[in-house]
A and B are shown apart, each in its own frame.
Chain A
Amino acid sequence: MDEDVIRCLDARRTQEAFELVASRYRDRIYRIALAVLADEGLAEDAAQEALLRIWKSLSGFKRNAELRTWIYSISRNCALMVLASRKARAAGELDEDLLPAKFAAPARASHDVDGMLNTLRPQYQQVVRLFYMQEKSYEEVAEMLDLPMGTVKTVLHRARLELATMAAGRLMQKGTR
C-alpha cells in the first residue's frame, strides 16, 4: 500500500513522500485523535502535531516496521500527550467549563448518544468511536489502536451492551411515565 512512499524515501524525495502520507493518512490520524480525545478542537491540534512529527522523522523511518503502524503509533502518542496535558491543566484550574465532555459530570451530557458514550471507560469510548468512523472494520480499529482483534470485538460488544442497556432503561422509563 505504501510502496510509493518508500520509493520516494529511498530516492530522498522526503517532501513528496510526506505529501503522499498526509493525503493518505490525514483522516485516520484525525480519527485516532478524535477517538482518544472526544473533542474536535483538541483532535485537530493533536493531528496537526502528529503530522509535524511525521514530517520531521519521515526521512529516518526504519523499514523494519510497517509505515502505517508507525504513523498510527505517532498519532496515538500525540493524542495521548494532548490528553495528558489537558488533564493536568484541568486538574490545576478546576474549571468545569474547560473540561472536555468526558471529564464532566455524566448527568450533564447524557441526553444524546455521544453523552452516553462519554460515560463509558476511555478504552470503550475509543473503540466504539473508531469502529464507526472506520466503517465498522475490526481490522482497522485493531491496527489503529494497537489492540488484538479479539480485544476489539469483546470491548465493542461490552460497550454497546452497556450503551444499549442505558438506552433501553430510558426507553422503558419513558414508557412507564
Chain B
Amino acid sequence: MMDCAEFKEQPGCAEFKEQLGCGGTGPLDAHASSCPGCAALAAAFAELDAALTAQYSGLSAPPLRMPRALPAGPSMLPAALDWIAWSGVTACCAVLLIFSPLGTVLSAWAWMILLLCVAVACVFWPAKTLQS
C-alpha cells in the first residue's frame, strides 16, 4: 500500500499520468480514497493545473514596435576604425623600414613594400568588412 511520502513523489497532474508506469493511477487513487490529506492534495493538483493552463496557455505577445524604422543596420564605424588602424600600422612599419639602416640599402625595395602594404590594406580590409 502506498504511503503519503510516496504519494507526494508522484506527479499529480493529468499530463503525467502516462509516466506512472504499468501501475497506472490505481495505487494513487487507492491511497487518496483512504487519506483525506492526499485526496485534498490530488484535488489541489488538478485545480492548479487547470488554473495555470487557463491563465498561461497560448499566451501571445502584445503588438510590439518593430525596429523597422531604423535607418540602417549595424554601424560600420568599428570596421572603418579597424581599417584605419591596420593601414596605419602597416604604413608605420614601412616608414621604419625605410629609415632603418637596412632601408638605406634597400630603399627602393622598401618603397615598393610600403606601396604594396598600402595597396593590400586598401583592398583587403574593405573586402573583409563587406564580407562580414
Contact A30 B37 (CB under 8 A): no
- Total A residues in contact with B, Cβ cutoff 8 Å: 42
- Is A52 located at the chain interface by the 8 A CB criterion? yes
- Contact, CB under 8 Å: A31 / B59: yes
Taking chain B's interface residues, is the majority helix, strand, or loop, or is none over half, making it mixed?
Answer: helix
Knowing A29-B61, A55-B70 touch, does A168 contact B43 (C-beta < 8 A)?
yes
CB–CB B73/A14 < 8 A: yes
Q: Is A70 an interface residue (CB 8 A)?
A: no
Count of interface residues, chain B, beta-carbon cutoff 8 Å: 35
Q: Is B60 an interface residue (CB 8 A)?
A: yes
Q: Across the A-B interface, how many residue pairs have beta carbons closer than 8 Å? A: 97
| Chain A residues within an 8 Å CB radius of B53 | 132
Selected interface stretch from B10-18, B105-113, B116-124:
B10-18
Give the distance in Å from the alpha carbon of A27 to the alpha carbon of B62 in the complex. 8
Q: Within the assembled complex, what's the spacing in Å between the Cα atoms of A48 and B44? A: 37
A76 at interface by CB-CB < 8 Å: no
Q: Are A34 and B48 in contact (CB under 8 A)?
A: no
Q: Is the CB of B13 within 8 A of A114?
A: no
Whether the pair B64, A47 counts as a contact (CB closer than 8 A) is yes
At the interface, yes or no: A87 with Cβ under 8 Å from chain B?
no
Q: For the complex, would chain A's binding face be called helix, strand, loop or mixed by DSSP majority?
A: helix
Cβ contacts under 8 Å, A172 to chain B = 36-37, 40
Indicate if A110 sits at the interface (CB-CB under 8 A): no
Question: Is A73 interfacial (CB-CB < 8 Å)?
Answer: no
User: Is A22 part of the contact surface with B, judged by Cβ < 8 Å?
Assistant: yes
A168 touches B41 (CB 8 A): yes
Contact pick for A48, options B58, B65, B68, CB 8 Å: B65
| Closest chain B residue, CB of each to CB of A167 | B44
* Shortest Cβ gap from B81 to chain A (Å): 16
Task: For the A-B complex with A26-B64, A113-B48 known, give 14 more contacts whose Cβ atoms are closer than 8 Å.
Answer: A15-B73, A26-B61, A44-B64, A51-B67, A55-B73, A60-B132, A113-B55, A132-B53, A133-B59, A161-B8, A161-B12, A167-B47, A168-B41, A171-B44
The 3 nearest A-B residue pairs measured at CB: A30-B61, A132-B56, A167-B44
Taking beta carbons and an 8 Å cutoff, which residues of A are in contact with B? 14-15, 18-19, 22, 26-27, 29-31, 34, 40, 44, 47-48, 51-52, 55-57, 59-60, 112-114, 117, 128-129, 132-133, 135-136, 157, 160-161, 163-165, 167-168, 171-172
